[in-house]
Amino acid sequence: MQFFFEVLIGGLLAGVMYSLVALGFVLIYKASGVFNFAQGAMVFFAALTTVGFISMGAPFWLAVALALLAMVALAFFTERVVLRPLVNQPQITLFMATIGLAFFIEGIAQLTWGANVHALDLGIADEPIEWLIGNTGMNISKFDLVASGIAAALVAVLAVFFNKTRTGRALRAVADDHQAALAVGISLQRIWVIVWMVAGFVALVTGLLWGARNGVQFALTFLALKALPVLILGGFESIAGAIVGGLIVGASEKLAEVYIGPHVGGGIESWFPYVLALAFLLVRPEGLFGERRIDRV
Amino acid sequence: MTAGREIGRPILEIDGVSLAFGGVVALQGVSFDVREHEIRAIIGPNGAGKSSMLNVINGVYHPQQGTVAFKGRKRRNVDPHEAAQQGIARTFQNIALFRGMTVLDNIMTGRNLKMKSNFLQQAVYWGAAKREELEHRAKAEAVIDFLEIQHIRKTPVGRLPYGLQKRVELARALAAEPELLLLDEPMAGMNLEEKQDMSRFVLDVNDQMGTSIVLIEHDMSVVMDLSDRVVVLDYGRKIADGTPDEVRNDRGVIDAYLGVAH
Amino acid sequence: MLRNFRLSALLGVAVFAFAGTAYSQNEQFVPMNGYWVGPYAAGGSGIFGGFIDYMNMINSRDGGINGVKLTYEKCETEYNNARGVECYERTKKRGPTGASLVHPLSTGITYSLIDKGTSDHIPIVSIGYGRTDASDGRVFPWVFPLITNYWSQNTAKIKFIGMKEGGMDKLKGKKIVNIYHDSAYGKETIPVLDAQAKKYGFEVSHIPVAHPGNEQQAQWLQVRQIKPDWVILRGWGVMNPTALKAAAKIGFPRTKIVGVWWSGAEEDVIPAGDAAKGYIAAAFNVSGSNYPVVKEIEKFVYAKGKGEMEDKSRVGSIYYNRGVVFGIVTTEAIRTAQEKYGKGKPMTGDQIRWGLENLNIDDKKLKQLGATGFMQALKVSCMDHEGGGSVKFLQWDGAKWNTITDWITSDQSIVRPMIEESAAKYAKEKGITPRDCSKEG
C-alpha cells in the first residue's frame, strides 16, 4: 500500500510538470482558438537561450531576463509575420502555420546556440527528502515539490491576471467573441502579442524546470506530446482543466506503468494517457472544464 | 417627447457609399447624415443593406466607393477597434456578448479603451493598475444602475434570458461613453413589455447622455415613435429620407414594403 | 558561442561543402549523410565532425591516400529514414567512382539501405549500430557492422560485471535490471541477456521506457522494489540523463549502472549534473584529445584555422573521437583496396568492399596511426564483418570519462551462434544463397 501511495504521489508531482506544458497551449488556444504546435519548440528555445547566455558568462537571473526578452521578441515576430497575414483564415491554416513556426524556432535555436546538450542547475537538489523517508518510508523528491510550488504560484499569478486586469479581461473577451471584442475597441493584434508573450513566459518557466530535470536538449520539444492528453482531458481553454488534467494523466500513467505495464510487456506510459483521454472524449467531448457549446444548425 | 435636447450639426456624414461582395452589391451610392443628439433610424425590407451600412460605419466593412466622415474627419479603412477609439459603440443583431464572463466583466470590457495603465503594471496588478480598475468599476456600476440590471451584475451572461442579454449589450456599449451609438435591431425577438423597456432606455440614453444614435429596427411603431429622422434603404439604394411622417407617406416606401415590382 | 547563421541548414536543404577545390579524376568521394540539426544533432554533429576532420587531416598531411584526394559532401538526414534514403540516392554517383561507401549513422536508415547498397555495389558501414546479424558476411556481403555489435558488447558487459563481482561464478543469484528504450534498438539485447542469465544463473528483469524517456519515475520505483545488484542502461538521447537523475532520486548507486555506448557520451551525462558521477558505460573508442591521432588533427586542421567543430572544446569528446574512428576505418579500407587494385587510383565500390573485407588494423598499424588505446585492433573477414568485438569501460567522474578497464573481449560462444541463426533466417526469407568464404580472396 505504501508503494501505491509512493507511485501515486510521484505521479501527481510529475503531473504538475505536464500541467505546466499544457498551460502554454491553453493560453494561446483561449485567446486565438489556435492550437499552437510550436509550444514545445518555444520551451526548448527559452531554456536553450537561458543556458546559452549562462555559458557566455551571464549570471543566472540576467540570463533568464534576456531569455524572457527573446520570448517577447518572438511574440512580436509571430504576430507580425505569422498571425497578422493569416487573420480571418480558417483555424486549420493557422495550425499549419504554427507547425512551420515550430520548425523555424527549433532551427533558430540550434543554429544560434549549437546542437550541444547542457546541464541547468537551479540549485534545488533532485534528491529524496530524508525526513519523509525516515517517517513514512516514501521517496519524494525535493525538486518535484519545489517545482509543484512554482507551478502553483504561476497558476495563481495567471488567474489574477486573467480575472482582475483589463488586459486579462480583454484576453477573455477575444477568446469569447472576436467580433464583439473588436467592437468594444480591443485590438486583436495587441492581444495576440500579449498572449504569445505570456505563453512565452510560461514556456520559459517550463523550460527551466524541465531543463533542470533532464538537461536542456532537443527532447524538450517532445514535451508537447505529454501535453496533448492533458489538454483533451482538461479542455483546451481551461486553466483549471490543464492543472487537473495534468494530475490525472501523471497519476494514472504511473500507476498503469507499474501495475498494468508488466502484464502487457511494459512501455505503456507513452500511449496510456492517450487511451484514457480518448475514452474520456467519448463521454465528455468538451473536456473536464471545457465549455459545452451547442451550435445552432 | 424629446424635449430639452438640441439637434446639432452633423456628426456623421455618409457620402455616396457603395459596397459589393464579389458581384453582389450590398450598398449603392448611399448618402445621408446623422446629427448630434439625433436618433436616426435605418429601415428597409430584408436584404436592403441596413446591417451592411452599420458595418461600414463601424469599420467592419470598407466601402469600395464613397466616404464616411465622423466628426468632420474623413476616414479610410478604419478597423472596428479604431472606430471604437473614435467614439463609436454598437450592439449586434445576434447578441455578441462574452458569454463566459459575468455581466459586470462584460460591461468592464466597454471601459477597455478608457483605461490607461500599461501591460506590465497589470501583470503585477499593482499601484496604478489597481486604482484604475476600481475607478472604472464605479463608472460601470453607474451604467448598471442606469439600465436597472443591478440584480444580475455577477451572473454569467450565457445564463441570462434573451431580453436581459440585449440590455447588457447596450450597457457594454454605453460603458464606453460613445458619441455615436449603433443599435442593430435592439428590440428583435422581444415581447411588448421588453420593447417598451428598451424604448425607454434608448430615449433616456439619448436624452440624458446626449448620445447620437443610429437605429436599425423592423418594428415600425417603435421606429416612428423613437426616431427624429428615418433613412429607407431598398436593394442597397436609398429610396427615402425624412421625418417619420414624411417617410410613412412616401409612395416608393410603400411600394418597397408591399413588394411592388420595380 | 554564438554561431554563424547557416541559412541553408536552417531550411533543411543539403549543405554542399567540397573539400577539393577543382574537380579532378584523382579523387575518392565519401558521402557525409549525417545530422547537424534536429533532435539528435548532438551526436551527428560530433561524429561527422571527427570524421570530416580526420579526412581533411589526411588530405592536408599526406596529400590524400597515395595521392588520391578525399572529397566529401554533407547531406542532412535529420536521422529520418526517408531523408537518409534521399541523401543516399543524391550522393551515390558523385565523384569519379561514385560513393565509396555509406555511413548511415542510424539503424533505421541502415535497414533501408541494405538492399539498395547491395544492388548498387556500395558498401554500407555501420559502426556500433545497425543490423547485428549482418556480422555474418556470408549472407550480407555489402554490410559491415564493424568493430563491435550490440550482442558482443552485451556479453563483454556481463564479463565486466562478473569481474567486479570477483568471478563469473559469483554472478549466480545476482539480480540485474535491464532498463531499455522501448524500440527495436532497445529490445535488441533481451535474448542475449536471457541466454547469459541462464548460463550464469543470475536473475534479469527487463523494464522498458517509452520514447523519448523524459519521465522514468515509474520505472525506477520498480527498480527500487526489485533491489538489483546492477542496472544495465540501454538508453538513447534524453532517456540517459533522465535515468541517472531518477536513479539518484531513489538513491540507487550510479557506480552500479552500466550503459551501452549510445548511453555513454558526454552529452548523456552532462545534463544529469552530479547525478551522473560514478556512472559506467561501455565504449569502443575512448574520450580525450591526448592521443597522437587527435594531436595530428589539431596540428594539420585546427592550427590552420579550419576544422568542423565550431565549439572546439568538443574535439576529443566521445562522439568526436568516434567520428575519428569512422575516418580511420574508412581511409584504411580505401588504402587496403588500393594495395590490391592499384595505388594512387580512385577505387570503385566493389574494390572498397574488398578493402573492407580484408581490413586488418593490427597493433603495429594502430601505433602508426597514432591510435593505440584509442580504438581496438580490427581484423575483418568474409565470415566476420564485425572484426573486433571488444569494449573498454569508462567511468564518468563528473567532468570527464576515465577509462577503467583494458579491452574486454566478447563471448563469441554465445554471440556467434545467435548471429548465424538469425542471418540464416534472413537468407531464407530473402532467398539469398550464403557465400562460400573459402572461395573468396
Residues C346-405 have pLDDT tens digits of 999 999 999 999 999 999 999 999 999 999 999 999 999 999 889 999 999 999 999 999
Any domain includes B207: yes
**Residue numbers of the domain that contains A132:** 2-217
* Domain harbouring B191, CATH code: 3.40.50.300
Whether the pLDDT of residue A88 is over 90: the answer is: no
Please tell me the predicted confidence (pLDDT) of residue B221.
86
Pairing outcome for strands B88-90 and B180-184:
parallel
Any domain includes A258: no
Which pLDDT band, with edges at 50, 70 and 90, does C23 fall under? Answer: low
Residues B191 and B150 in one domain: no
Start-to-end CA distance of chain B, whole Å, equals 37
For chain B, which chains pass the contact test of at least 3 CB pairs under 8 Å?
A: A
A144: nearest CA partner in chain C? C249
Provide the number of structural domains found in chain A.
1
Q: Is B220 exposed, middle or buried (0-12, 13-18, 19+ CB in 10 A)?
A: middle
Residues 6+ apart with CB under 8 A from C61: C296, C300
Q: Which residues of A touch B101 (CB under 8 A)?
A: 169, 172-173, 176
Whether the pLDDT of residue B2 is over 60: the answer is: no
Name the nearest CA neighbour of B146 among B225, B207, B224: B207
**Residue numbers of the domain that contains B118:** 99-176
For chain C, which chains pass the contact test of at least 3 CB pairs under 8 Å?
A: A
Please tell me the predicted confidence (pLDDT) of residue B125.
62
HSE, side-chain direction, 13 A CA sphere, residue B69: 14
> How many angstroms separate the CA of residue A154 from the nearest CA in chain C?
22
pTM, entire model: 0.81
Whether the pLDDT of residue B5 is over 70: the answer is: no
Residues B135 and B187 in one domain: no
The shortest CB-CB distance from B84 to any of A161, A175, A185 is to: A185
Please tell me the predicted confidence (pLDDT) of residue A281.
83
Give the residue from A30, A164, A165 with the most B CB atoms within 10 Å of its CB, the best one to mutate. A165
Q: Where are the domains of chain C?
A: 7-148+287-379, 150-283+392-413
Residues 6+ apart with CB under 8 A from B91: B166, B169, B170, B173, B182, B183, B184, B186
The shortest CB-CB distance from A184 to any of B110, B122, B125 is to: B110
C314 near A CB under 8 A: yes
Any domain includes A97: yes
The three cell numbers of residue A196 are 504569445
Q: Do C211 and A270 touch (CB under 8 A)?
A: yes
Q: Which residues of A touch C242 (CB under 8 A)?
A: 213-214
Contact B49, B26 (CB under 8 A): yes
Name the nearest CA neighbour of C84 among C113, C63, C61: C113
Say whether A163 sits in a helix, a strand or coil: helix
Q: DSSP state, B15?
A: E
Mean pLDDT of chain C: 89
Please tell me the predicted confidence (pLDDT) of residue C107.
87
Contact C141, C435 (CB under 8 A): yes
Residues 6+ apart with CB under 8 A from C430: none
Contact C123, C352 (CB under 8 A): yes
Which pLDDT band, with edges at 50, 70 and 90, does C211 fall under? Answer: confident
Whether the pLDDT of residue A205 is over 90: the answer is: yes
From the centroid of its chain, how far is CA B189?
17
Using CA atoms, how far apart are residues B95 and C69, in angstroms rounded to an integer? 77
Unique residue bearing C-alpha cell 457594454: B172
| Of B114 and C424, the one with more pLDDT | C424
Pairing outcome for strands B212-216 and B180-184:
parallel
Any domain includes B94: no
Residues B171 and B185 in one domain: no
The three cell numbers of residue A189 are 493584434
> How many angstroms separate the CA of residue A74 from the nearest CA in chain C?
17
Please tell me the predicted confidence (pLDDT) of residue B3.
43
Q: Do A270 and C182 touch (CB under 8 A)?
A: yes
Whether the pLDDT of residue A197 is over 90: the answer is: yes
Start-to-end CA distance of chain C, whole Å, equals 52
Please tell me the predicted confidence (pLDDT) of residue C12.
40
- pLDDT digit string (tens) for C239-272? 999 999 999 888 899 999 999 988 999 999 998 9
Q: Which of B129, B145, B176 is the last residue of a domain?
A: B176
Please tell me the predicted confidence (pLDDT) of residue B126.
64
| Rounded mean pLDDT, A61-89 | 91
Name the nearest CA neighbour of A183 among B17, B201, B54: B54
Question: Taking the CB of residue A92, how many other CB atoms lie within 10 A of it?
Answer: 10
Radius of gyration of chain C (CA): 21
Please tell me the predicted confidence (pLDDT) of residue A263.
79
Q: Is A77 exposed, middle or buried (0-12, 13-18, 19+ CB in 10 A)?
A: middle
Using CA atoms, how far apart are residues B47 and B45, in angstroms rounded to an integer? 6
Q: Which residues of A touch C209 (CB under 8 A)?
A: 267, 269
The three cell numbers of residue A131 are 525526513
Please tell me the predicted confidence (pLDDT) of residue C6.
41
Mean pLDDT of chain A: 85
Q: Do B89 and A184 touch (CB under 8 A)?
A: yes
Residues B33 and B106 in one domain: no
Please tell me the predicted confidence (pLDDT) of residue C10.
41
The three cell numbers of residue A214 are 533532464
CATH architecture, domain C7-148+287-379: 3-Layer(aba) Sandwich (3.40)
CATH architecture, domain C150-283+392-413: 3-Layer(aba) Sandwich (3.40)
Using CA atoms, how far apart are residues C70 and C347, in angstroms rounded to an integer? 11
Please tell me the predicted confidence (pLDDT) of residue C16.
42
Whether the pLDDT of residue B262 is over 80: the answer is: no
Pairing outcome for strands B229-234 and B39-43:
parallel
**Domain C150-283+392-413 in the same topology as domain C7-148+287-379:** yes
φ/ψ of residue A282, rounded to 5? -65, -35
Contact C150, C166 (CB under 8 A): no
Please tell me the predicted confidence (pLDDT) of residue C87.
94
Contact B174, B181 (CB under 8 A): yes
Contact B15, B31 (CB under 8 A): yes
Contact C103, C125 (CB under 8 A): yes
- pLDDT digit string (tens) for C266-301? 999 998 988 999 999 999 999 999 999 999 999 999
The shortest CB-CB distance from C248 to any of A3, A114, A127 is to: A127
Residues B3 and B70 in one domain: yes
Is residue C239 left, alpha or beta, with left meaning phi > 0 and alpha meaning psi from -120 to 50?
A: alpha
| Rounded mean pLDDT, A4-31 | 88
Name the nearest CA neighbour of B235 among B24, B80, B72, B9: B24
φ/ψ of residue B26, rounded to 5? -100, -40
Q: Which of B176, B193, B222 is the last residue of a domain?
A: B176
Contact B157, B102 (CB under 8 A): yes
| Rounded mean pLDDT, C70-86 | 92
Any domain includes B182: yes
Using CA atoms, how far apart are residues B254 and B243, in angstroms rounded to an integer? 15
Any domain includes B120: yes
Using CA atoms, how far apart are residues B118 and C189, in angstroms rounded to an integer? 61
Which pLDDT band, with edges at 50, 70 and 90, does C28 fall under? Answer: very high
Asked whether at least 3 C-beta pairs link A and B within 8 Å, the reply is: yes
For chain A, which chains pass the contact test of at least 3 CB pairs under 8 Å?
A: B, C
Contact B96, A180 (CB under 8 A): yes
Q: Which of B176, B198, B228 is the last residue of a domain?
A: B176
Residues B8 and B66 in one domain: yes
Any domain includes A294: no
Please tell me the predicted confidence (pLDDT) of residue B119.
67
Residues B169 and B195 in one domain: no
Please tell me the predicted confidence (pLDDT) of residue A293.
52
Any domain includes B8: yes
Residues B82 and B108 in one domain: no
Q: Is B41 exposed, middle or buried (0-12, 13-18, 19+ CB in 10 A)?
A: buried
| Rounded mean pLDDT, A23-30 | 88
Ranges A125-129, C97-101, C114-118: which has the least confidence: A125-129
The three cell numbers of residue A30 are 483561449
Please tell me the predicted confidence (pLDDT) of residue B121.
67
DSSP A3-48: HHHHHHHHHHHHHHHHHHHHHHHHHHHHHH----TTHHHHHHHHHH
Peptide bond into C271 cis (omega under 30): no
Please tell me the predicted confidence (pLDDT) of residue C4.
41
Name the nearest CA neighbour of B211 among B170, B168, B242: B170
Q: Is B25 exposed, middle or buried (0-12, 13-18, 19+ CB in 10 A)?
A: middle
> How many angstroms separate the CA of residue A200 from the nearest CA in chain B?
14
| Rounded mean pLDDT, C159-169 | 93
Which pLDDT band, with edges at 50, 70 and 90, does B117 fall under? Answer: low
Any domain includes A141: yes
The three cell numbers of residue C153 are 558488447
φ/ψ of residue C107, rounded to 5? -60, -40
Contact C68, C344 (CB under 8 A): yes
Q: DSSP state, B156?
A: B
Residues B83 and B113 in one domain: no
Using CA atoms, how far apart are residues B167 and B95, in angstroms rounded to an integer? 10
The shortest CB-CB distance from A169 to any of B58, B109, B132 is to: B109
| Rounded mean pLDDT, A149-173 | 85
Beta bridge pairs of residue C69 = C27
Which pLDDT band, with edges at 50, 70 and 90, does B128 fall under? Answer: confident
- pLDDT digit string (tens) for B6-54? 778 899 999 999 999 888 889 999 999 999 999 999 998 888 889 999 9
Residues B235 and B158 in one domain: no
Provide the number of structural domains found in chain B.
2
Residues 6+ apart with CB under 8 A from A251: A8, A11, A12, A15
φ/ψ of residue A21, rounded to 5? -65, -45
Residues B171 and B63 in one domain: no
Using CA atoms, how far apart are residues C171 and C166, in angstroms rounded to an integer? 9
Whether the pLDDT of residue B72 is over 70: the answer is: yes
Residues B3 and B52 in one domain: yes
DSSP C99-157: ---B---SHHHHHHHHHHHHHHT--EE-SSSS-GGGGBTTT-TTEE--S--HHHHHHHH
Using CA atoms, how far apart are residues A27 and A240, in angstroms rounded to an integer? 12
Please tell me the predicted confidence (pLDDT) of residue A169.
86
Whether the pLDDT of residue A282 is over 60: the answer is: yes
Q: How much of chain C, in percent, has pLDDT values that exceed 70?
A: 94
Q: Is C23 exposed, middle or buried (0-12, 13-18, 19+ CB in 10 A)?
A: exposed
Any domain includes A76: yes
Whether the pLDDT of residue A270 is over 80: the answer is: no
Using CA atoms, how far apart are residues A171 and C97, in angstroms rounded to an integer? 64
Please tell me the predicted confidence (pLDDT) of residue C331.
96
HSE, side-chain direction, 13 A CA sphere, residue C21: 0
Which pLDDT band, with edges at 50, 70 and 90, does C50 fall under? Answer: very high
